[in-house]
Amino acid sequence: MLGCVSRRILVIGGTRFMGRFLVARCLARGDRVTLFHRGTRPNPFGARVEQLIGDRTSPDFERALSGRTFDAVVDMVGYQGADVERAIDVFAGRVGHYLFVSTGQVYLVRENAPMPSREEDYGGPLMARPQGDDAAQWDYGVGKRACEDALIAARDRLPSTRLRIPMVNGPGDEQQRIARYVRRMLDGGPLRVAFADRRVRHVDAQEVARTIDLLLGDARVLGEAVNQAQDETPTLRELLGLIGHEIGAQPEIVDDESVGTEASPFSTRWMSFLDPAKLRALGVGHAPLSTTIARTVGHVLATL
């Protein structure tokens, strides 16, 4: 660990959901933080961070970052192998630890993906690219795998860690997943959901930020992939009941196989279910699900 020493940290991204929580934590502990992002929204940290504006998929990246050194780089927005290959070329020999935010979808695009998925389940044949709406989901998982594979191939040039996470909940979720259920409950209407009795295991945005903060500079995870997820595995029906309880509602849940993710964001088959045992063995836990629900629902109600 880098301990209490102030770290020089670059966050690629960092201005929206999980990245914002991460940057706030790093600043609180006295790190010197640089953000690289396109600037589509104002940087919420003002002069407390160094801000570099550019697109990571373009030569902006080399222009802004060639020759720079950092104790750690957190890559919040790599989606294609080329994104990470470009970063490897810029940072090899200049960065102590590169932490890549990946996804549990790297397991879902595998043929017969085991559930729960453990880190060693990454290897093996991939499913064929599906047709229709599923194609974009497959592309996402395969793109993230290409990013991870680039880091694995470059492990002698750039010390890195791949953090795999499932669906993320928390205040400020841009996809408004829990917010949509809460609004429907407040309307008093029934919740139409598919897969109501399937077990789900998500992750809390602030726990992801805390995990990244803890892992930066940790020699035990160099060259490794690690899963993070909450401990609880409620069914979707139970999870919606807990959310309802938080606002004093008892939602009527209608199991409807045909419902889409617009009506029920957790009713997708593209939802990974990760085993976080490896991270737990490293001493990194996760706040209780009740904390995630209280944080998230409280924020939804405050911003209705």
Nearer to ligand NAP, 172 or 256 (CB): 172
- What is the β-pairing status of strands 8-12 and 32-37? parallel
CA 64 to chain centre: 25
Nearer to ligand NAP, 18 or 225 (CB): 18
- Whole-angstrom distance, CA of residue 125 vs CA of residue 153: 18
Closest residue by Cα to residue 80 from 110, 65, 100: 100
- Judge whether 219 and 266 are in contact, CB under 8 Å: no
Least spacing, CB of residue 19 vs ligand NAP, in Å: 2
Q: Report cis status (omega within 30 of 0) of the bond before 288.
A: no
Q: Determine the residue type at 43.
A: N
Nearer to ligand NAP, 17 or 45 (CB): 17
Q: Give the position of tokens 């726990």.
A: 207
- Binding site residues, ligand NAP, CB under 6 A: 13-20, 37-41, 55-57, 76-77, 101, 103, 165, 167-168
Side-chain-side CA neighbours of 26 within 13 Å: the count stands at 32
Least spacing, CB of residue 133 vs ligand NAP, in Å: 17
Which residue's C-beta sits nearest to ligand NAP? 19
CA 13 to chain centre: 12
Least spacing, CB of residue 208 vs ligand NAP, in Å: 8
Least spacing, CB of residue 165 vs ligand NAP, in Å: 5
Nearer to ligand NAP, 6 or 58 (CB): 58
Least spacing, CB of residue 79 vs ligand NAP, in Å: 7
Strand, coil or helix: 185:
helix
